[in-house]
A = this chain, B = another copy of it.
Amino acid sequence: MRIALDVMGGDHAPQSNVEGALQAIKEDPLLTVVLVGNEQAIRAHLPAEIPAGIEIRGTTEVIEAEDEPVKAVRRKKDASLVVAVNLAKEQQVETVISAGNTGALMTAGLLIAGRMPGIERPALVALIPTLSGKITLALDVGANMDAKPVHLLQYAVMGSLYAEKVLGFEQARVGLLNVGTEAAKGNELSKATFPLLSKANVNFIGNVEARDLMQGACDVLVCDGFVGNVLLKAAEGVATSIFSRLKKELTSGLLNKMAALILKPSLYRFKNTLDYAEYGGAPLLGLRYPIFKAHGSSDARAIKNAILAAARFVKQDVNSYIQQELNKEIYRESE
């Protein structure tokens, strides 16, 4: 299987990206990873003799984090991210991974790869770590700002299939993000979506409140992209703020530093529970070719795990399952 990796995207690019690719081909010798980016920069992190399973596709441009997505994708034709998605379109690779500009990746996904037939809106998945050590998939977290009930229905189907086929969940529990657990709660969108999910071929467990997410209230959370994005950033903001303040308190004065030393293994174990790198990347679901977004702060292990998740997505042929399921009569009726 051939996979394109945008080597220029992410905070630790290109080094972590190249290292992640090397780790991935070691774990799965049947993979070929096409490293897309500045050739010189890539070679600097590769052994003199390029290993089997690694190819280089040199590019001259880079989409930066602060670039305006649509403009960047249209104008920077030789950007690593754009070239990588084009490789999928030209069927030179089967899936694409980038830790770069999320907006640009979604734009390239829509404009270059295009939607699967029957999918109204692609959805960006986020993997939310919970205290149980398992993760919750949330979608959409920003691909589609003004969702309709049928979009959320499709997210539920796509999210469930991804959770089950790629991440190994059994009968993934699907929750609808809402402000209360009663069926009649919420805004117009959630009230109209609830009955659709009740009839769908997913394990729908009802409304889920944001405060119960970290306790593992559901496996797949569906919501519109605006709310999902706010949810994700609120959670990240609170967690980051608490940990940074904690670090400050733990290092203020000699006694505190000593105490912190004692607690280090415990805190480290806790931090690991909430480790994004473990799960690598999250897919943009609903496109013709699977595209994975790795976290901006991905290290080599996160990149490796993103590559392996993308490979499982392709092997399991998740897109065919999605297509098959959404072709069923029940989904057309509910529209």
For residue A226, which residues in chain B have a CB less than 8 angstroms away from its CB? 179, 186-187, 190, 227
CB within 8 Å of B: which A75-128 residues: none
Interface string of A195-233 (1 = CB under 8 A from B): 000000000000001111111000000011111011101
How far does the alpha carbon of A305 sit from the alpha carbon of B100 in the complex, in Å?
47
Are B242's CB and A239's CB within 8 A?
yes
Interface string of A285-307 (1 = CB under 8 A from B): 00000000000000000000000
Kindly provide the distance from the CB of A215 to the nearest chain B CB, expressed in whole angstroms. Answer: 7
Are A237's CB and B263's CB within 8 A?
no
Q: Does A260 contact B (CB under 8 A)?
A: yes
Q: Whose C-beta in chain B lies nearest to the C-beta of A273? A: B245
How far does the alpha carbon of A131 sit from the alpha carbon of B246 in the complex, in Å?
11
Q: Does A334 contact B (CB under 8 A)?
A: no
For residue A177, which residues in chain B have a CB less than 8 angstroms away from its CB? 230
How far does the alpha carbon of A224 sit from the alpha carbon of B190 in the complex, in Å?
14
Are B213's CB and A237's CB within 8 A?
yes
Are A131's CB and B245's CB within 8 A?
yes
At the interface with chain B, which of A10-18, A54-62, A248-256, A317-325?
A248-256
At the interface with chain B, which of A19-27, A36-44, A159-167, A264-272?
A264-272
Given contacts A179-B230, A226-B186, contact A240 B211 (CB under 8 A): yes
Interface bin, chain A: 35 or more
For residue A242, which residues in chain B have a CB less than 8 angstroms away from its CB? 238-239, 242-243
Q: Whose C-beta in chain B lies nearest to the C-beta of A214? A: B241
B186, B243, B252: which contacts A266 (Cβ < 8 A)?
B252
Are B270's CB and A262's CB within 8 A?
no
B68, B179, B240, B266: which contacts A256 (Cβ < 8 A)?
B266
Given contacts A145-B186, A211-B240, A242-B242, contact A230 B227 (CB under 8 A): yes
Are A256's CB and B262's CB within 8 A?
yes
Given contacts A188-B146, A255-B262, A267-B249, contact A230 B233 (CB under 8 A): no
Kindly provide the distance from the CB of A232 to the nearest chain B CB, expressed in whole angstroms. Answer: 8
Q: Does A235 contact B (CB under 8 A)?
A: yes
Closest 5 CB pairs of A and B: A211-B237, A259-B259, A210-B234, A249-B266, A211-B233
